[in-house]
Structure 1
Amino acid sequence: MHDDGVFDQAIAENYDRIHGDGSSAAERLVASVLRDLAFDGTALEFAIGTGRIAVPLHHAGVRVQGIELSAAMVDQLQQKPEGADIPAVVGDMTTTRVDGAFSLVFLVYNTIDNLTTQDAQVACFANAAAHLTTGGHFVIETLVPPIQKIPFGETMRAFNRSDTHWGIDEFDVVTQNYASHHVRLEAETYVKNTVPFRYAWPAELDLMARMAGMRLVDRWADWDKSPFTATSPSHVSVWRKD
């Protein structure tokens, strides 16, 4: 039986409700930026999930394919009217190959951190480069590790508190691993889940890219292409295959 990991059926069924279904202005902006980077109109999304970015990118005229570890997430994508037109393979984005070459490979919404070892993250960059045409772009959106916000010697940081959701990150600064703990109120019941991650600094990601034959060409604080600074909480990075 296939193991969907932390993104099981229950998570997949509620994912769009919690994180967005691709219809917001912010998600359309992401699709617009990615469309411009897919210069020949072909794109491969690592961790395509429910298609919250792939669907608006498909609407923008880009031929999108995807790789996704969770069969439950792919099932949610394929249930959408547009999902039938977006091929998605169930597999590991560090090793799974799909046919063809692409001008764009992208991995958004902090998902590089779902690879919980440095070796796996390095393999992800290599797999992206293997799918790219010469001059093609690999794009990652992820957070800047919020270590400066944690008091010296502490390991916990609360990042959200509302009537329906509490979120706490627990960090190990030795291994660069962290666990994101969530408690959500759903149908008058509190549901807890924990997702493991590994954070990487932008400079570390740049080195992974260089090892895979790619070089940094842009880094923004957000999809609006605002400048990346020392206080930016996240980054959108674009590497080009030489």
Structure 2
Amino acid sequence: MSLLDDPGLFGRQWAPHYDSPGLPDPAPAVEFLAGLADGGPVLELAIGSGRVALPLAARGIPVEGIEASPEMVDLLRAKPGGADLPVTIADMADVPVDGSYPLVYLVFNTLFNLTVPGRQEDCFRNVARVLAPGGAFVIEAFVPDPAQFDRDEQQVQVWSVTEESVSVRLHRYDRAAQTFLRQTLVFSDGGVKLEPFGMRYQWPEQIDAFAADAGLHLEARYADWAGEPFAPDSTTHISVYRKPA
């Protein structure tokens, strides 16, 4: 089993500084999702520290979550209202919950964190199982840039240099598999720390095929949470997939 196959890896590595400044403002996503919630309950896959779930719940919408990392759930629980959200600690691809949700959502490119072949498809099939008739599955993801991903090569870059440490990042791309592996090496007086991270990226049309195989259809696609039209040069997409009523 590859280290990247562990669904809790991301949270264990990044929870200590996940809520550091610089994360996207969740307000536009919350506004968008609230319009599809239909009173709830709604389900967030990879709920993390609750950056979207908590403000959505503050609007009076019941929110539940799935999260593979107990460390991330600890961050959520420590925030006001975080202890009130039901969270199942599990692999999000399994969607191991019962219910009939009018809305399930997965934001911030996290679909691509499922690096094992077939697991992204599993995620769609399992979401379709728990969606209410007519319910929506919302995905936020980047559009792969051929200049960045469509290549077979390795890259090395110095990430940061301080008086206490040096961080170097190495990237390995696999064009055929549509994957990349990023390894961050942190050198300090305490030794060397490795922080691996990988993605299996997909183009929007490929994600549409996952949805279709799961019995969902693409209802709408936008360039951002504000609802700007999706265009050939869009770098991100918000896609709304609908289960038949």
Bucket of the pairwise TM-score, normalised by the shorter protein? 0.7 to 0.9
| Alpha-carbon separation, structure 2, partners of 1:35 and 1:77 | 20
- Are residues 1:126 and 2:125 paired? yes
Q: Of the two, which has the highest radius of gyration?
A: 2
CA distance 1:140–1:168, change in 2 (3 Å): farther
1:237 corresponds in structure 2 to 239
| Alpha-carbon separation, structure 1, partners of 2:95 and 2:137 | 16
Contact 1:93-1:127 within 8 A present in 2 as well:
no
Give the C-alpha shift of residue 148 in structure 1: 3.0
> Sequence identity, in percent?
39
Give the C-alpha shift of residue 55 in structure 1: 0.7
Letter in 2 for 1:204: Q
CA distance 1:88–1:150, change in 2 (3 Å): closer
| Alpha-carbon separation, structure 1, partners of 2:106 and 2:186 | 26
Contact 2:152-2:175 within 8 A present in 1 as well:
no
| Alpha-carbon separation, structure 1, partners of 2:206 and 2:45 | 19
2:226 corresponds in structure 1 to 224
| Aligned counterpart for 1:6 among listed residues 9, 14, 31 | 9
Query: Structure 2: any 5+ residue segments left out of the alignment?
Result: 1-5
Letter in 2 for 1:207: A
Normalised to the residue count of structure 1, the TM-score between the two structures is 0.85
Contact 1:113-1:197 within 8 A present in 2 as well:
yes
Query: Structure 1: any 5+ residue segments left out of the alignment?
Result: none
Contact 2:95-2:127 within 8 A present in 1 as well:
no
RMSD, aligned CA: 2.8
2:3 corresponds in structure 1 to none
1:73 corresponds in structure 2 to 72
CA distance 1:210–1:4, change in 2 (3 Å): closer
**Secondary structure of the structure 1 residue equivalent to 2:55:** helix
Give the C-alpha shift of residue 82 in structure 1: 1.1
Q: Across the two proteins, how many residue pairs are aligned to each other?
A: 235
Q: Where do residues 51-90 of structure 1 align in structure 2 (5 Å cutoff)?
A: 51-90=50-89
Give the C-alpha shift of residue 98 in structure 1: 1.6
